[in-house]
Amino acid sequence: MRNLYTLLPNEDLMGFVGRIHYLGPFQAFEDTRQRLGLTTRLLKAGEVTYKDEYKVSQLLGHSLESLASNHTSRNLLRYCMTRDELNKFSDPSTTNKMPKITFFDSKSVLKLPWRWCPECVDADVAEFGCSYYHRNHQLLGVHTCYKHGCLLYSECKNCDFRIDTIKQAYVPPVDNKCPCCGSTEFLGQEYISDKMHQVESYVLLMAEGKLDLNFERIAASVCEHIGINEQSILARTGGKSVRAFNRRMLNFFGLDDLSQYFSFVIEYNDKLKCRTLCNSRTYDIRFKYTPAHPVVYAMLLVYLDHHHHHHESQLLAA
């Protein structure tokens, strides 16, 4: 009980709400939610931000900024939003008024269940007396534990049970048994390529705020790679170069990799299409539309890294 109102290492801020209920006095989660004054009824994993984060941070006596690096996903926003857009979501006075942040083609972005590492569960129970959901385990693009390197559990192998909302399991199964059927066999990500590991590394750096980049600089790097500038974007004369870039990027990742992040990926006549990854927000900071999901920019950085190293190798060979 001593840890009830203390965030544990890398504990997901909204997962913390589940632990409060699990250890708290109320039988119904709705009572806990109302007692905390939360507006969100369904707490799902992988959300970049919640309106209720500010209320929970106040309860804990912390600022959202102090929690960003280890307990929320808010740092991801700096890599997909302009400074003006970020300012709209950083003012606590607007927290209850602002709409939920949505991303371009968000229906295509895969929705993940709450995930956990079995080794972390054992270690957390031993040290803190309770398991809890780690922030790093909930990030889209992350498939392995940041501490142990093992695959994250997400689904019961026997009955397909998933923790889609925190009401289904307020904390990860303490004994690593399925809450539904009792099985001890769980599934994690079955397919992980080298490129996906690179994307994972970038997503973790972004979430921790350790990547010395922002949206504007990433977009500038993409423009430089494509061979366009602000003038050609405004004049709409770089369309052919942009389309060629999109084709190269889609082929670089391929159908299997793309399908691990997006549900709407089409392969037709040996050509790949994925509008979630290929949109104007990847290079045009003036484009007035909803931001692309942060994982898109992690994928862009992996692609640009590969091209840079490939170009260097060609120069050395010459």
Based on the fold, state whether residues 68 and 161 are members of the same structural domain.
Answer: yes
The predicted pLDDT at position 97 comes to: 54
The predicted pLDDT at position 171 comes to: 96
The domain in which residue 168 lies consists of 13-187
Based on the fold, state whether residues 33 and 142 are members of the same structural domain.
Answer: yes
The predicted pLDDT at position 313 comes to: 45
The predicted pLDDT at position 290 comes to: 84
Q: What is the pLDDT averaged over residues 290-317?
A: 78
Which domain-ending residue is among 153, 187, 221? 187
> What is the DSSP code string of 219-260?
HHHHHHHHT--HHHHHHT--HHHHHHHHHHHHHHHHHHHHTT
For residue 315, pLDDT over 90 is answered with no
Establish if 200 belongs to a structural domain.
no
Which domain-ending residue is among 138, 153, 187? 187
Q: Which residue has the higher pLDDT, 102 or 183?
A: 183
Based on the fold, state whether residues 170 and 111 are members of the same structural domain.
Answer: yes
Based on the fold, state whether residues 39 and 142 are members of the same structural domain.
Answer: yes
CA dist., res. 155 & res. 290, Å (int): 31
SS3 state at 297: helix
Q: Chain centroid to CA 277: how far?
A: 15
Q: What is the pLDDT averaged over residues 237-250?
A: 93
Q: What is the pLDDT averaged over residues 58-77?
A: 91
Based on the fold, state whether residues 259 and 183 are members of the same structural domain.
Answer: no
Establish if 206 belongs to a structural domain.
no
Based on the fold, state whether residues 22 and 131 are members of the same structural domain.
Answer: yes
Establish if 242 belongs to a structural domain.
yes
Q: Which residue has the higher pLDDT, 190 or 163?
A: 163
Neighbour-count burial for 38-69, b at 16+ CB within 10 Å, e otherwise: bebeebbbbbbbbbbbbbbbeebeeebeebbe
Report residue 312's pLDDT band, with 50, 70 and 90 as the boundaries.
Answer: very low
Report residue 63's pLDDT band, with 50, 70 and 90 as the boundaries.
Answer: confident
Based on the fold, state whether residues 133 and 20 are members of the same structural domain.
Answer: yes
Based on the fold, state whether residues 160 and 296 are members of the same structural domain.
Answer: no
The predicted pLDDT at position 233 comes to: 85
pLDDT in tens, 114-147: 999 999 999 999 999 999 999 999 999 999 999 9
Establish if 150 belongs to a structural domain.
yes
Query: Is residue 90 packed enough to be buried (19+ CB in 10 Å), middle (13-18) or exposed (0-12)?
Result: middle
Based on the fold, state whether residues 33 and 147 are members of the same structural domain.
Answer: yes
Q: Which residue has the higher pLDDT, 179 or 93?
A: 179
Based on the fold, state whether residues 143 and 224 are members of the same structural domain.
Answer: no
Cross-strand partners of 135:
none
Phi, psi angles (nearest 5°) of residue 144: -125, 160
pLDDT in tens, 87-117: 877 665 555 555 567 788 888 999 999 999 9
Establish if 266 belongs to a structural domain.
yes
Q: Which residue has the higher pLDDT, 205 or 188?
A: 205
Structure tokens given for 105: 């083609």
Q: Give residues with Cβ within 8 angstroms of 296, minimum separation 6.
A: 80, 276, 277, 279, 282
Among residues 246, 237, 236, the alpha carbon closest in space to that of 277 is found at 246
Report residue 304's pLDDT band, with 50, 70 and 90 as the boundaries.
Answer: very high
Establish if 196 belongs to a structural domain.
no
State the average pLDDT for the chain: 89
221: number of CA atoms within 13 Å, CB side? 17
Based on the fold, state whether residues 20 and 114 are members of the same structural domain.
Answer: yes
Establish if 155 belongs to a structural domain.
yes
Task: Count up the domains in the chain and report the number.
Answer: 2
Percent of the chain as helix, strand, coil, to the nearest 5: 45, 5, 45
Q: What is the pLDDT averaged over residues 4-18?
A: 93
For residue 311, pLDDT over 90 is answered with no
Based on the fold, state whether residues 178 and 278 are members of the same structural domain.
Answer: no
Establish if 253 belongs to a structural domain.
yes
Q: Which residue has the higher pLDDT, 191 or 200?
A: 200
Phi-psi category of 142—alpha, beta or left, where left has phi over 0 and alpha has psi -120 to 50? beta
Q: Give residues with Cβ within 8 angstroms of 193, minimum separation 6.
A: 256, 257
